[in-house]
Amino acid sequence: MKLVKAIIRPDFLEPLKDEILKSDIGGMTVSPVHGCGKQNGWKEYFRGNEIIMNMVPKLKCEFAVRDEKVEDLIEIITRVCRTGEVGDGKIFVQPLDEVVRIRTGERNETAL
């Protein structure tokens, strides 16, 4: 099992959600986040002073998936969320040691 985290532009949430629901990937968890990287943010003015705002609003989408679904998920995320511009985001894939469904006590792949 893997935990896949994708940091995406907020405007791609609905199209991504639609594609995930069409696939057999499973569910997702979404959290608002802020970050900085090569995108460099934008300029704002406060009391006549220029301020560089480099913490850009993004969304973090998390997916707990079986190993054989990881590449399918990466393909969906990159196809839906890629503009080709700086700031498209990142995908992180981590091992997932254990999953427990609270309601039933099921564990691991049966809990997904």
Phi-psi region of 72 (alpha: psi -120 to 50; beta: other; left: phi over 0): alpha
Phi-psi region of 105 (alpha: psi -120 to 50; beta: other; left: phi over 0): left
pTM: 0.83
At 16-66, the pLDDT tens digits run: 999 999 998 988 999 999 887 766 666 667 777 776 667 788 999 999 999
- Element at 72 (helix H, strand E): helix 70-81
Q: What is the CATH number of domain 2-111?
A: 3.30.70.120
Write down the domain spans for the chain.
Answer: 2-111
If we measure between CA atoms, which residue out of 4, 54, 53, 45 comes closest to residue 28?
A: 4
Sheet with 29-35: strands ordered across: 29-35, 56-65, 2-8, 90-95
